[in-house]
A and B are shown apart, each in its own frame.
Chain A
């Protein structure tokens, strides 16, 4: 079945970078955009950016421009999200999600989430 499997939890110090992976299975990897969202503890969902796995083209939320980089490796059906210059308020669960087939702009399915903790 269609699924996205993310890498495990990370603990980072302020100023460091983190790279989270999202491995796709069960569908044609290059056929659907993948998006990244995050959710701080007790907070709502925040869109970060997206990648077209076919072309490698990306779009990022203005808030994260210059700090986030989304890449892909088509040989292993995996997308990566790297966030640099980490701050304590970057502590959150990071999700990848594929664009759904029901309608453009939906997110379905989602990865299981990766907790990134930023602490000195």
Chain B
């Protein structure tokens, strides 16, 4: 199975800050990498697919980049409603797997 790691595991930032989350795959997954946002008590929501494509309806302050094994999710200007846990997910192979998550809160 492909193993996914994320860093950091948690972060605190101020409103308006630029926030970057990193996801790494244990082998190349091309651009088969998706990002989800999960707010407390809610189901995950698709934010970014195919590493860098913004899902319809998602604010443009969210962006994704990377290919191969290293990927990033960036929030250009953190807003209070972005408080959540963010998960990467590889869709390269069966047994789709998620990263361990990055919890984002407001400083």
| CB–CB B53/A44 < 8 A | no
Q: Would you give the shortest CB distance from A48 to chain B, in whole angstroms? A: 10
Provide the residues of chain A in CB contact with B97, threshold 8 Å: 47
State which of A45, A103, A109 has its C-beta within 8 Å of the C-beta of B98: A45
Complex CA gap A113/B100 in Å reads 19
Docked-complex contact B98 and A108, CB < 8 angstroms = no
State A34–B101 Cα separation when bound (angstroms). Answer: 22
Name which of B38, B45, B95 has the most chain A CB atoms within 10 A of its CB. Answer: B95
Which residue of chain B is the closest to A104 with respect to CB atoms?
B91
What separation, in Å, do the CA atoms of A88 and B64 have in the docked complex?
38
- How long is the Cα–Cα vector from A102 to B17 in the complex, in angstroms? 29
Per the bound structure, the CA–CA distance linking A112 and B49 in Å amounts to 21
Query: Are B34 and A46 in contact (CB-based, < 8 A)?
Result: no
- Minimum CB–CB distance for B90 against chain A, Å: 8
CB distance from B104 to the nearest CB of A (A): 15
User: At the interface, yes or no: A26 with Cβ under 8 Å from chain B?
Assistant: no
Tell whether A106 pairs with B43 under 8 Å between CB atoms, given A44-B99, A44-B100: no
Residues of B in contact with A (beta carbons under 8 Å apart): 32, 34, 36, 38, 43-46, 49-50, 53, 55-56, 87, 89, 91-92, 94-101
